[in-house]
Amino acid sequence: MLFGKCLRDPGGLVRRMMSQVANTTRQKNRIPAKIRMRFLPCCDIVVVSGKFLKRVWKNPQDRSYFYKMKTESIIQVADKEFELYISFSKIKDRIEQLGAELNEAYAGLDPVFVPVLNGSFMFASDLIREVCIPCEVSFVKTASYEGTVSSGLIKEVIGLGMNLKNRHVVLVEDIVDTGKTVAALLEGLKMQEPASMEIASMFVKPDAFTENFEVRFRGFDIPDKFIVGYGLDYNGYGRNFRDIYSLAGSR
């Protein structure tokens, strides 16, 4: 499921629009009366598509309102078509398991998580929220993809801002493909003499892997197919999808 964003509506335009939607759908009982009356007077208004809301509820965490949208089975990203491959619910369950593994492995060790931008930003955010032990986070950014093929060329754009000497480091990646990007990063990080270094990756492609390091914390092993969503992109697009999609027609 995807969730709609909440927007401020100081001019009241969206509120008036939502009032008209509610009045139109009231007779069809699309929105429960208690929710409808609580939702409309608020300043935070959800953006909707279509003529009615299927389900609206309040999030007690940030006092905002959300609505559910159906996950698409086929999406268009730039000039290519992708099909649903792994749902966000499966991703979420696996991340909870990985978080438990990290909590057990690094209890009392004060680890440093090093997410690799841009692709790992969603995975890193969700994963670190599952970590309940003391830890630190620093970021590094590289680029190795051109279109749908890993170029193998590494360009470090943003370097680490902390000393890793004698620290227990967990490199957080979205996907380990050929492994060349991670191998280059590992070599650079080893120069800082960390106490230990491990890799956590949401996805691993064993068939494409050409290096000799181990990915200790891994979400899913997948075939050598191109995927987008959950932070992964195709030429800069597609990162915003919560689910994972594979290139249509790929096996």
Looking at residue 150, its pLDDT comes to 53
Q: Which domains does the chain have, with CATH numbers?
A: 2-69 (no CATH), 75-247 (3.40.50.2020)
Q: Report DSSP state, residue 179.
A: S
Q: Output the pLDDT for position 49.
A: 37
Calculate the average pLDDT of the chain. Answer: 77
Least confident of 68-72, 157-161, 202-206: 68-72
Catalytic positions, written as ranges: 177
- Which residue has 């009392």 as its token pair? 108
Most confident of 17-26, 91-100, 146-155: 91-100
- pTM of the predicted protein model: 0.68
- Which tens digit of pLDDT belongs to each residue from 39-67? 333 333 333 333 333 344 444 444 343 33
Mean per-residue pLDDT for 34-40? 37
Radius of gyration of the chain (CA): 22
Write the DSSP string, 136-159: EE--EE---EETTEE-------B-
Which residues, 6+ apart, have CB-to-CB distance to 89 below 8 Å?
Answer: none
Q: Where are the alpha helices (DSSP H) in 67-167?
A: 88-105, 121-129
β-sheet bridge partners, residue 14: none
Give residue 23's pLDDT band: very low, low, confident or very high (50, 70, 90): low
Taking only the tens place, the pLDDT of each residue in 106-135 is 999 999 999 998 889 999 999 999 999 999
Return the higher-pLDDT residue of 26 and 222: 222
